Amino acid sequence: MARSGRGFNSISPAEKVVRYALLLVVLVITVGPFLWQLSTSLKSVSEDVFTQTPTFIPQHPTLSNFAEVAKTIPVWSYAGNSLIVAVLVVLGNAIGATFAGFALAKLRFRGSKLVLGLFLATLILPSEVTIISQYVIVRGLGFADTLIGVALPGAIQMLNVLLMRTAFLSIPADVDAAAIIDGATAWQRLIRIGLPNVRGMLSVVVIFSFIFAWDDFLWPLIVLTDPDKYTLTVGLQYLNGTFSSNPRLIAAGTMIAFLPIVVVFALLQRFFFKGVDAGAIKG
Amino acid sequence: MTHKRWFTPWLLIAPAAVWLVVFNALPAINTLILSFTNAKPLGGGTFVGFANYTRMFDDQQLVDALINSIVYMVVCVPLLTLLPLLLAVLVEKKLRGIAFFRIAFYTPVLASAVVVALIWGWLLNDRGVINGMAEGLGFLSEPLPFLSDRWLLLLSAISLTVWKGLGYYMIIYMSALGNVSRELHEAAAVDGAGPVRRFFSVTVPGVRNTMLLISVLISVFALRVFSELYVLSNGTGGPGGRDMSLVMLIQLYGQGLTGHLGYASALSVLLFVVTVGPMVFLARLNRKES
């Protein structure tokens, strides 16, 4: 048994080659389409993008498509609209889910089990099932065709409440007990003991609230009718439906929608993968 | 000197509880009520009994949508249960640069379904790079109509869903693989089991519960598909509107001032019933085991 001499974790050179080869194949499959879109967005009008021998590197790279797409649809104000919605949703979830998660995990009160059960029960309800009635309610509140109306239903998501509860539950009871004996109020326990211990999960909630709001399509499509108020996803579909003749412009538009998400994720990904290791992401 | 104020917990829960009631519970109840009326966005509806439900049996588009959902599930569930597990095994070993690969494989998850559908719409275009290269290399004499044939459009949307889902389920498998016993792997290796053998006799049984959970998540996700089909078909639902999904029909009937809220709500109830099926199945399996 020649293998047993080396540790179980060491990898033979042959296996290493195979693994890297496979990793590269998957890399091309997963990232390739994005790079192709980026390449298309940088190709000048003089370069034929419909060709049987496509070139990956643009012959005369140009940013003019980004200026051109802004002349066709107000893409930068759409990006601003998406940002407004995303910020509202992030704030709502960071505050609302943290408060409720803390109360459900650390405070004892009559009816807490029932409340927890209700939060859990919403998980079997896909958002698409209630979307029409949500629209009826948002319109009734006077927020139809507004960015607030877009942000409102997702501003506190039940899943995030439950995730924050799980995070608060994992704080050892004796840490909290000392504070209770010292006479700390619930508020002080939340700020001084709770928050510093749930930063990882809070980051996960913030990242995913942002991505959820920025990427969402069906709900803003239903709420918004005025083209000036479109978010990026709705605006891009509008661009695609109306001006599909020039793929360079659509490519530029998709990059404007995609790159900010990549930046946000790249900045915060270490929290995310820490959360994965801690078993935070269970689907 | 502490005042234990009984209302403090309720104060903290209040915002989330308001959202629970206003944006989850009330809409759920309202959907059920509306489904028995002929409500329009302007003006109240009157009770029409089961008319919206009997109407479903004559709705050819709904039949098509349900067939599409079944095809979606049948293709997505095996692919997205197996491929992400293989990916998770691939990125499990701590090779140099593995963090980069993990993040890269996750990027399709981050992109909006709209962005992904526009990117693939361009790749699959009649004059796009996939048809172009296939023709250039002599595999095709004329472009495959990925976006204008009923079944090809559906399969395009499915492959897009699979592509976008790989990284998401990979992450779930990664945290599950952490719990698979290292000793079992080592013992199997000492007994001379090769990597393939170890995958099937150690890894797969070790993540069996996660596989079940993931196949249920995918089934539910496949039933809820909207953006991929909507954007790839440019909002039309494909040739003759035969590439609609259930959610596309809900949006079609529910949106705008001329919407049929009653019928859209009945379709929403149908969506709920079909998505609850896989979840009940999972709950039953879990109960049997414990």
The structural domains of chain A, ordered by start, are 2-62 (no CATH), 67-277 (1.10.3720.10)
pLDDT of residue A3: 43
Exposed/middle/buried for A140, CB within 10 Å: 0-12, 13-18, 19+?
A: exposed
pLDDT at B143: 85
Tell me the β-bridge partners of B37: B47
With pLDDT > 90 as the criterion, what percentage of chain B qualifies? 57
How many angstroms away from the CA of B286 is the closest CA of chain A? Answer: 16
Find the residue in A nearest to B99 (Cα). Answer: A273
Interior CA angle at B125 toward B120 and B128, to 5°? 95
Chain A interface includes B187 (CB < 8 A)? no
Q: Residue A281: pLDDT band by 50, 70, 90 thresholds?
A: very low
- Whether B112 sits inside 8 A of A247 (CB atoms) is no
Q: What value does the mean pLDDT take over residues A162-179?
A: 88
Full 3-state SS string of B38-97 = CCCCCCCCCECCCHHHHHHHHCHHHHHHHHHHHHHHHHHHHHHHHHHHHHHHHCCCCCCC
Q: How many domains does chain B have?
A: 1
**Residue B232 clears pLDDT 90, i.e. is over it:** yes
Set of chain B residues whose Cβ sits within 8 Å of the Cβ of A232: 112
**CB-closest option in A33, A51, A186 to B123:** A33
Q: pLDDT at position A277, please?
A: 55
Whether B2 shows a pLDDT value over 50: the answer reads: no
Q: How far does CA A67 lie from the centroid of its chain?
A: 27
**Nearest-CB residue to A30 (from B31, B167, B223):** B167
What's the pLDDT band for A1 if we cut at 50, 70, 90?
very low
Cβ burial B180-212 (10 Å sphere, 16+ → b, else e): beeeebbebbeeebeeeebeeebbeebbeebbb
pLDDT tens digits for A185-231? 888 888 888 888 888 889 889 988 999 999 999 999 999 999 999 99
How far apart are the CA of A119 and the nearest CA of chain B, in angstroms? Answer: 7
Q: Which of A33, A92, A190 has the CB atom closest to B120's CB atom? A: A33
- The whole-angstrom distance between A277's CA and the closest CA on chain B is 6
Task: Say yes or no to pLDDT of B173 above 70.
Answer: yes
Confidence of residue A276 (pLDDT cuts 50, 70, 90): low
Contact between B230 and A34 using a beta-carbon 8 Å cutoff:
no
Q: Does residue A280 register a pLDDT over 50?
A: no
Name which of B1, B94, B98, B110 to mutate to probe chain A: the one with the most chain A Cβ atoms within 10 A of its Cβ. B110
Q: Do A233 and B114 touch (CB under 8 A)?
A: yes
- pLDDT attached to residue B29: 95
Grade residue B286 by pLDDT with cuts at 50, 70 and 90: confident
In a domain, B63, yes or no: yes
- Asked if B222 is an interface residue toward chain A (Cβ–Cβ < 8 A), one would say no
Average pLDDT of the residues in B90-117: 91
Most B-contacting residue of A51, A128, A215 (CB-CB within 10 A), to test interface: A128
Name the minimum distance, in Å, from the CA of A243 to any CA of chain B.
Answer: 11
* pLDDT of B39 over the 50 cut: yes
Beta pairing partners, B47: B37
According to the per-residue pLDDT averaged within each range, which of A9-23, A37-51, B23-37, B171-185 is highest?
B23-37
d(CA A89, CA A151): 6
Optimal mutation site among B4, B10, B22, B24, interface A, most CBs of chain A within 10 A: B24
Mean pLDDT of the region B96-107:
90
What does the pLDDT read at residue B290?
65
User: Does B277 contact A at CB distance below 8 Å?
Assistant: no
Q: B142: number of CA atoms within 13 Å, CB side?
A: 1
Residue in this structure with the two tokens 């990232």, named with its chain if needed: A31
pLDDT higher than threshold 80 for residue A250 = yes
| Chain-chain contact of A132 with B34 (C-beta, under 8 angstroms) | yes
In a domain, B154, yes or no: yes
CATH assignment at residue B176:
1.10.3720.10
For residue B255, give the nearest of A29, A222, A269 by CB distance.
A222
Predicted pLDDT at A10:
67
**B227, part of any domain:** yes
Contact B8 A129 (CB under 8 A): no
Domain assignment of residue B86, yes or no: yes
Once rounded to an integer, what is the mean pLDDT over residues A16-34? 94
**Average pLDDT of the segment spanning B17-37:** 95
pLDDT of residue B230: 95
- Most trustworthy range by pLDDT among A67-71, A79-83, A279-283, B191-195: A79-83
Higher local confidence (pLDDT), A242 or A193: A193
Q: Which of residues 124-153 of B touch A (CB under 8 A)?
A: 125, 127-129, 132-133, 135-136
B231 touches chain A (CB under 8 A): yes
Domain assignment of residue B39, yes or no: no
- Asked if the Cβ–Cβ distance from B23 to A153 is below 8 Å, we say yes
The alpha carbon dihedral of B247, B248, B251, B254 has a sign of negative
Are B190 and A261 a contacting pair at CB < 8 A? Answer: no
The answer to whether B276 faces chain A, any CB pair under 8 Å, is yes
**Between A65 and A245, the higher pLDDT residue:** A65
> A71-97 pLDDT, tens per residue?
888 999 999 999 999 999 999 999 999
**B155 has pLDDT over 60:** yes
Task: For B167, list phi and psi in degrees, rounded to 5.
Answer: -70, -35
Q: Do B107 and A30 touch (CB under 8 A)?
A: yes
Q: Is the pLDDT of residue A283 over 70?
A: no
Which pLDDT score, from 0 to 100, does residue B5 have?
A: 77
Residue contact B268–A130, C-beta within 8 A: yes
CA A182 to chain centre: 40
| For residues B47-69, average pLDDT | 92
- Selected residues 77-96 of chain B with any CB under 8 Å from a CB in chain A: 87, 90-91, 93, 95
* A99-154 per-position pLDDT tens digit: 999 999 988 888 889 999 999 999 889 999 999 999 999 999 999 999 999 999 99
User: Within a 13 Å sphere around the CA of A277, how many CA atoms are in the beta-carbon half?
Assistant: 9
In a domain, B168, yes or no: yes
Would residue B47 count as lying in a domain?
Answer: no
Which residue range(s) make up the domain with B267?
A: 59-289
* B250:A282 CB<8 A: no
Record: contact A95-B163, CB cut-off 8 A: no
pLDDT at A266 over 90: no
* pLDDT for res B14: 94
